[in-house]
Amino acid sequence: MRIAVTGDREFLDEVASELPAGDAVRVERIDDATDDGDLAFSLAEVGTLVGTVVNLVSLCRTLIEVRRRNSAPTQKLRFKTALGTMEVELPHDITLETLHSQLASLVRE
C-alpha cells in the first residue's frame, strides 16, 4: 500500500533513516511539501515522505521511537493513502495500539 506522510521535515528525515531495512516499509523519497500556491505563513519546514508500506506496525513502531526522542512539544503528521487522509497528533507517550488503531481506516475500507 502506497502512503504519504507529511510533517516536520527534520522529523521525517529521522524516521526515514531509522526505518528497518527490508520490505516492511520502502521509502521512495521525501519531498518539500510546500505548495506553490500557498501563501501560508509558517515558521516550520514541511516535508512529505512517500513510500510503500507492507507492514503498518513496523512504520508505527519507528514513528513512536523517533517521537520519544524528539523534544518538540507537539508533532502532527498527516497520513494519506488511496482510502483517505488523516492527521494524527503524536504525543510523547503514544502507544503502538493507539497509533495503529487511529490509522486503521486508511488501510481498509
Partner 1 sequence: MSADVVQQDFGGFDPRFPGGIGITLGSVEAYRAFARFAESDADSASASTGLGEIALKSVIDHEVRHFHDALLSPWANSIFRMRAQALMNGMQAIRVSRDVAGDTLPLPVGDWLRLNEEERSGYVREWEELVGAPVSPVPLPCGIDVDAIWRLSGSTIDTAGLEVESEFLAFTSATLAAYDLIRKLLAGDPPAGAGPELRPSMIFEVTALAVQLVGIWQSQGSDEVLEFLSHLIDSERPYAKLWTLFTNLALELERAAEPDASYLSLVLAAQRHVLRMGIWTLLGNQELDGMAACPTRRFVALAEHLLAHLAAPENRAMDAAEAWDRWDAGTGSRPWRVGCQQSLDASQTTLRRYEDLAATDRDGPALLLSNVLGRRVADQKAITLRLFRDANSLADVAAYVSAAPGVYPVPCLRIDLDGFAIPAPETDPPGYRAVRVTAQDGGALLTNRFAMSIDGVAGGEALDDLLAFESAMCVCDLAFARHRMPWQTSERSRDVIRSVSRKRVLLIV
- Contact present, 8 and 44 (Cβ < 8 Å): yes
Instruction: For residues 15 and 3, give the distance between their C-alpha atoms in angstroms, rounded to a whole number.
Output: 14
Stretch that binds partner 1, among 19-27, 42-50, 62-70, 90-98 (CB under 8 A): 42-50
43 makes contact with partner 1 (CB under 8 A): yes
69 makes contact with partner 1 (CB under 8 A): no
| Contact set for partner 1, span 75-94 (CB under 8 A) | 78, 80-87, 89
Strands 84-89, 76-81: pairing kind:
antiparallel
CB burial readout 42-68, b (16+ within 10 A) else e: eeeebbbbbbebeebebbbbbbbebbe
In the chain, the amino acid numbered 77 is L
Least CB distance to partner 1 at residue 53 (A): 10
Residue from 2, 26, 29, 68 touching partner 1 (CB under 8 A): that is: 2
Q: Report the interface residues with partner 1, using CB under 8 A.
A: 1-4, 32-45, 50, 73-74, 78, 80-87, 89, 107-109
